[in-house]
Structure 1
Amino acid sequence: MSLFGKVEADVEIKAPAEKFHEIVSCRPHHISNVSPGVIQGCALHEGDWGNENSVINWDYVHDGKAKVAKEIIEAIDKENNSVTFKVIEGDLMEEYKNIKITIQATPKGEGSLVHWTIEYEKLHENIVEPNTLLQLALDLSKDLDAHLVQA
């Protein structure tokens, strides 16, 4: 059994890809206002909002438990509406040696298709794939969509 893996999923939203990308890459600190049931807080630890190599602290709820994560923004691609975060500290590191999350929003019809990819390396083979984390991301996308369409 491999310790390395990847889980992916798409969610269709009504909001424009550029607006979705802008909030997840440049204004993630607004997400806790939009989806307080999932994200309790987001604070800049190092760098500047919307810049690569910036470090962000997240307070969130996963599987019914309050958790924390510290992530570095590895890449922001404004042309392709993509952002990649690498988890460097927090609760996820208790099960995963490495975990990287990529979010890409692509225009589709009058809305967008948001593609989430979670690449990971488990600490040992008894760790489950991060499917519930992926579901959390999809739920978060729907909350952000509802907010962006209202705005």
Structure 2
Amino acid sequence: MPLFGKVEADVEIKAPAENFHEIFSCRPHHISNVSPGIIQGCALHEGDRGNEGSVINWESGITSMEVIEAIDKKNNSVTFKVIEGDLMEEYKNIKITIQATPKGKGSLVHWTMEYEKLHENIVEPNTLLQLALDLSKDLDAHLVQA
């Protein structure tokens, strides 16, 4: 069983790609208000919101400190790298990329999680990926209402 891997999935939403991207790249602290069942808190730990190099502390069923590695406004993508927290108990590295692409009147959100497990008995982060898809749906419902 390989230690390195990648899981990815898509979810279609009704909201514009730019609006979805802006939530993750510039306003992640609003996510806990929109989807408190999945994200209970999101605090800026270091840096400035909307800037690469900023560090965000996410509170959900797990705690995760992540640095924003890349923000691509043209392609509506943002990449986070986990640097501390509960996920580091099972993964040596985990990187999460979210890209929203316009599709018809809505968007297609593509989630990618690249990881390196600490040992071969660790499972792929499929539960985390499903939470991300559920979070996307919650955010979509909020953005479409706004």
Band the TM-score falls in, shorter-chain normalisation: over 0.9
1:47-101: CA deviation from partner (whole Å, max 9, x where unpaired):
000000000001012xxxxx10000000000000000000000000000000000
Cα separation, 2, equivalents of 1:23 and 1:58:
14
| 2:65 equivalent in structure 1 | 70
> How far apart are residue 33 of structure 1 and its match?
0.2
| 1:17 equivalent in structure 2 | 17
Matching residue within 68, 73, 81 for 1:86: 81
**Paired amino acid for 1:20:** F
**Paired amino acid for 2:3:** L
Query: Aligned-pair RMSD on alpha carbons?
Result: 0.4
Cα separation, 1, equivalents of 2:96 and 2:142:
22
- Structure 2 residue runs without a partner (length 5+): none
Matches within 5 A, 1:106-125: 106-125=101-120
Q: Structure 1 length normalisation: TM-score?
A: 0.96
Length, aligned pairs only: 146
**Paired amino acid for 1:60:** S
Percentage of identical aligned residues: 88
- Structure 1 residue runs without a partner (length 5+): 62-66
Cα separation, 2, equivalents of 1:89 and 1:21:
24
Cα separation, 2, equivalents of 1:60 and 1:24:
16
Cα separation, 1, equivalents of 2:126 and 2:58:
19
**Paired amino acid for 1:111:** G
| 1:56 equivalent in structure 2 | 56
**Paired amino acid for 1:98:** N
Q: Does 1:147 align with 2:142?
A: yes
| 1:31 equivalent in structure 2 | 31
SS in 1 for 2:9: strand
Cα separation, 2, equivalents of 1:139 and 1:19:
17
Q: Structure 2 length normalisation: TM-score?
A: 0.99
